[in-house]
């Protein structure tokens, strides 16, 4: 296919594709004339992954390169490639690590992960952006005096595991590793507002069930 068709099928303007080519995010097409090249389905899948990273996930160019390098690293297994893609996404504010509340939060998070038996999460520890984000969130709860002990966090963690199963079931609908990486990025970003909305709707339902007075 020519550049115009790649643009149409990938949903990305030709000028943007040319920028991705210059930045090395897309491999060069097969040159057919001095000014034109041909592209194939591999380019289309890579374009969709780049779009998911940069346009949907708001991942910086430098981080996108790391994800793409991981994709091409044959020494990495599929789990490592997926982890690299999701770790590259913005994860929210992180603490400085030098406050007493953060030390207490880190101990709480470590105890929670141990109780759950989440060995991978414990092994990565603060290398994981999600782990650091959780520590920061628990530290904020600690400072403000809200419940955040292991027993308070455990129901959220168990719900999170059920969501992870659903997420990976969705990913496995896609056949190729590139498609799964694209979906991992896009669905992580796009489903987070879905989760927030459903949680708030569920709050309304449960509050109505518990507290609405029904006479007669």
Distances (CA, A) of 170 to 48, 69, 118, 166, 209: 17, 24, 22, 6, 32
What is the reported pLDDT for 96? 64
- What is the total count of domains within the chain? 1
What is the reported pLDDT for 97? 63
Q: Please indicate, yes or no, if residue 103 is contained in any of the structural domains.
A: yes
Q: Please indicate, yes or no, if residue 133 is contained in any of the structural domains.
A: yes
| Token code pair at residue 131 | 């782990």
Distance (Å, whole) CA 96 – CA 134: 13
Q: Please indicate, yes or no, if residue 145 is contained in any of the structural domains.
A: yes
**φ, ψ (nearest 5 deg) of residue 38:** -110, 145
Q: Please indicate, yes or no, if residue 150 is contained in any of the structural domains.
A: yes
pLDDT per residue rounded down to tens, the chain (216 residues) = 899 999 999 999 999 999 999 999 999 988 888 888 999 998 998 898 888 888 888 888 888 888 888 777 778 888 888 888 888 877 777 766 667 889 999 999 999 999 999 999 999 988 899 999 999 999 999 999 999 999 999 999 999 999 999 999 999 998 888 788 888 888 888 888 899 999 999 999 999 999 987 654
Q: Please indicate, yes or no, if residue 71 is contained in any of the structural domains.
A: no
What is the reported pLDDT for 149? 97
Structural domain including 128 reads: 91-167
Q: Please indicate, yes or no, if residue 55 is contained in any of the structural domains.
A: no
- Do the Cβ atoms of 29 and 72 come closer than 8 Å? no
What is the reported pLDDT for 190? 84
**φ, ψ (nearest 5 deg) of residue 37:** -135, 160
What is the reported pLDDT for 215? 56
The pTM (predicted TM-score) of the whole model is 0.79
Q: Please indicate, yes or no, if residue 42 is contained in any of the structural domains.
A: no
Distance (Å, whole) CA 51 – CA 134: 28
Distance (Å, whole) CA 30 – CA 6: 13
Q: Please indicate, yes or no, if residue 206 is contained in any of the structural domains.
A: no
């Amino acid at each position: 296919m020519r550049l115009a068709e790649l643009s149409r099928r990938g949903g990305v303007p030709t000028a943007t594709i040319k920028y991705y080519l210059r930045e090395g995010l897309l491999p060069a097409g097969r040159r057919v004339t001095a000014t034109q090249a041909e592209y194939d389905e591999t380019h289309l899948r890579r374009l969709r992954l780049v779009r998911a990273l940069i346009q949907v996930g708001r991942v910086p160019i430098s981080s996108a390169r790391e994800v793409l390098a991981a994709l091409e690293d044959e020494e990495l297994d599929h789990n490592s490639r997926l982890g690299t893609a999701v770790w590259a996404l913005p994860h929210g504010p992180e603490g400085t690590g030098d406050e007493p509340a953060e030390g207490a939060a880190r101990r709480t998070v470590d105890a929670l992960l141990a109780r759950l038996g989440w060995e991978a999460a414990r092994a990565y520890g603060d290398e994981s952006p999600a782990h650091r984000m959780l520590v920061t969130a628990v530290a904020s709860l600690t400072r403000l005096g809200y419940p955040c002990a292991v027993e308070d966090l455990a129901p959220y963690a168990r719900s999170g595991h059920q969501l992870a199963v659903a997420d990976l079931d969705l990913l496995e609908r896609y056949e190729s590793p590139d498609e799964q990486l694209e979906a991992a990025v896009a669905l992580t970003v796009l489903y987070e507002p879905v989760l927030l909305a459903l949680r708030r709707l569920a709050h309304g339902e449960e509050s109505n069930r518990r507290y609405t007075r029904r006479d007669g």
